[in-house]
Amino acid sequence: GAGVSQSPSNKVTEKGKDVELRCDPISGHTALYWYRQSLGQGLEFLIYFQGNSAPDKSGLPSDRFSAERTGGSVSTLTIQRTQQEDSAVYLCASSLSSGTDQETQYFGPGTRLLVL
Amino acid sequence: AQSVTQPDIHITVSEGASLELRCNYSYGATPYLFWYVQSPGQGLQLLLKYFSGDTLVQGIKGFEAEFKRSQSSFNLRKPSVHWSDAAEYFCAVKAAGNKLTFGGGTRVLVKP
């Protein structure tokens, strides 16, 4: 079946603008994760959804970052008033559930964000 | 908190030679361990995972990894490397909770 998809694949924006990044998880996967991959910080966890709730938002770097998930499926990561340090690849992953620790996360291709 | 260290930032290997990528983790109990591979411009693809049981796990593309509790290691190996194995490899640990903690990655270059 289809894997995790993300859009756009690339996004160039100007400092101070808002951006929205979209993630479509694998069908039937109830858990969804956002990670950020940047040169200086490597791969970092941002937020985790179980269904439409986000029990773990501990990785969101500032209040400029927010995410939501609707219908237990699509998720949107929003970055307000973008800064140059937000430039990174934003990766989304999904897993079947989070009921046990033995859940494998499957990743999408990422959205490469460049803030000028 | 858990952490993962991949000591080698870059490794160059000749095609047909063997490859070993090192991964050390820090966690109080037995963690769940993963190796992912990332080709240029791509997302992360799961190579293999260890949850429990046999400490030698087989993965896709001819890779295997061995969990050694005494050394807190989960090294990835491949007996004979192909040019298509050139990529960046990430070790990750999933401890309590749901998030993955990744190592810094090892970039593999394959010489013809």
Residue A53 burial class via C-beta count within 10 angstroms: exposed 0-12, middle 13-18, buried 19 and up:
exposed
Q: How confident is the model at residue B41 (pLDDT cuts 50, 70, 90)?
A: confident
Mean pLDDT (whole number) for B54-63: 94
Closest CA to A112 of A12, A1, A5: A12
**pLDDT over threshold 80, residue B98:** no
Residue A25 touches chain B, beta carbons under 8 Å: no
Average pLDDT, chain B: 92
Q: Assign B47 a pLDDT band (cuts: 50, 70, 90).
A: very high
Give the per-residue pLDDT at B54.
Answer: 85
Residues 6+ apart with CB under 8 A from A17: A81, A82
pLDDT tens sequence across A58-115: 999 999 999 999 988 999 999 999 999 999 999 999 998 765 656 789 999 999 999 9
The whole-number pLDDT of residue A41 equals 80
3-state secondary structure at position A46: strand
Q: Interface of chain B against chain A, CB under 8 Å?
A: 32, 34, 36, 41-46, 49, 51, 90, 92, 94-105
More confident: B109 or B51: B109
| Predicted local confidence at residue A100, as pLDDT | 61
The shortest CB-CB distance from B51 to any of A35, A59, A102 is to: A102
Percent of residues, chain B, with pLDDT higher than 70: 97
Mean pLDDT to the nearest integer, B93-112: 89
Nearest CA in chain B to A90: B43
Determine which of B23, B91, B98 to mutate to test the interface with A (most A C-beta atoms within 10 Å): B98
Inter-chain contact B44–A104, Cβ cutoff 8 Å? Answer: no
Strand-pair category, A111-115 with A10-13: parallel
Report pLDDT for A102. Answer: 64
Q: A87, A38 in Cβ contact below 8 A?
A: yes
Segment B59-71 mean pLDDT? 95
Chain A nearest-CA distance from B99, in A, is 6
Q: Are B52 and B61 in contact (CB under 8 A)?
A: no
Q: Write the pLDDT tens digit of every residue in A6-62.
A: 999 999 999 999 999 999 999 999 999 999 999 878 899 999 999 999 989 999 999
Report the candidate in A49, A30, A3 with the shortest Cα–Cα distance to residue A95. A30
Out of A101-105, B35-39, B58-62, pick the least confident.
A101-105
To the nearest whole angstrom, how far is the Cα of B66 from the nearest Cα of chain A? Answer: 18
Mean pLDDT confidence for B25-54: 88
Burial level of A87, CB count in 10 A (0-12/13-18/19+)? middle
Q: Is the pLDDT score of B96 beyond 70?
A: no
A56 with B97: Cβ contact below 8 A: yes
